[in-house]
Structure 1
């Protein structure tokens, strides 16, 4: 996923009200950027750290910028939660995700039951529903999800189990937007209920694919599949 506009560099002052962040740009001006990440952002929030913002395309929007990434441990961590969906769509369309190659039709935002999944793909032999989750939480060498309790995430897992029951592929695709981790796992201490439902879903045949992404000011690119522990 290549950024269509040149990103704007700055330094994080603070994040507040979940969806807002004040940033000092390199020219000394202070702007308020939209933060798409509604979670705690634990382990990827550091006041005074370098950040990159994207200019907003809508002149009527209250915030002129969207917060895209922050520099943590000498590497960029993607915090825009809308990017993984586009990244996953492009990668599945181009056959660049292991075990998700060979689809001739790929669509975004497709409904099944009372859930809307991020990607739907099919070919002559199978149909597949894919739910995409952004992962930014780090603990030691582990990338963990979620960073806050998510009943919506549990609902997606339950619906994916129903997809599997009806003879279709059901995939949980975790996009890990940082390179300082090596293993993916559910955040049991933060949301034990989600971890339990994920374990149940895996036993029911729901596939888990954790993909690590290299985040840079020019692009976000999937680089490898990580091992996972349930």
Structure 2
């Protein structure tokens, strides 16, 4: 199986103690590390959990890259998402003949991650990372995300205007299904349902991470719970 992305650098192992704020973590070893992930990560960052980091980050002692749950290595650093997604697009792993045109497209008061060409038509693709596992279900989001809801509404608007639009969920867990998380964010849930009704594509792509390299395992099935359950 061919790797789609590799993280470089020397990793050091620490143990999670507590989250000082949204972007800073204290380890049991007394290190203060940068956390580049907007998610709540409560199910992953529990006291004593092993975390892996690269030394030094903008004045802090380290930057967290991933954690380990049983035999799973789980990326918890969102700065890599678009690099992974770019390789997925270029390798044609989403089942559509996409061609990359631009990254980080500004649309009024927000940015969309990618502008693609699909059959000579503009197609907008947003990327999200999914780390929450509930049984066989990968769920997004793990905390309320106003930004994510705005992205879905913008993608639905783009579809209404005749453009192509989709969301790529990078699933970093051993999941069989993907599900919008009604319990954590009902606004996001309803925005996703509405986006799908307008023709926005949903691509939940499961990835395997060996602590250094990422491998694409394929798209997983979407299931909907909550009031719109199917």
TM-score (norm 1): 0.88
Which of 139, 145, 149 is equivalent to 1:144?
139
2:228 corresponds in structure 1 to none
TM-score (norm 2): 0.88
1:98 corresponds in structure 2 to 94
1:133 corresponds in structure 2 to 128
1:161-200 equivalence runs, <5 A? 161-179=156-174, 181-200=175-194
1:38 corresponds in structure 2 to 38
1:17-28 equivalence runs, <5 A? 17-23=21-27
2:227 corresponds in structure 1 to none
Residues in 1 aligned to 2:159 and 2:62: alpha-carbon distance in whole angstroms? 40
2:84 corresponds in structure 1 to 87
The gaps in structure 2 that reach 5 residues or longer are 225-230
Q: Deviations over 1:82-131 (max 9, x none)?
A: 22222101221232x2234341x332101234321111111562221111
Aligned residues of 2:125 and 2:166 also touching (Cα < 8 A): yes
Aligned residues of 1:22 and 1:33 also touching (Cα < 8 A): yes
Residues in 1 aligned to 2:111 and 2:191: alpha-carbon distance in whole angstroms? 18
2:210 corresponds in structure 1 to 216
The gaps in structure 1 that reach 5 residues or longer are none
1:69 corresponds in structure 2 to 66
Residues in 2 aligned to 1:141 and 1:71: alpha-carbon distance in whole angstroms? 18
Aligned residues of 1:32 and 1:64 also touching (Cα < 8 A): yes
| Residue-pair matches, total | 220
2:20 corresponds in structure 1 to 16
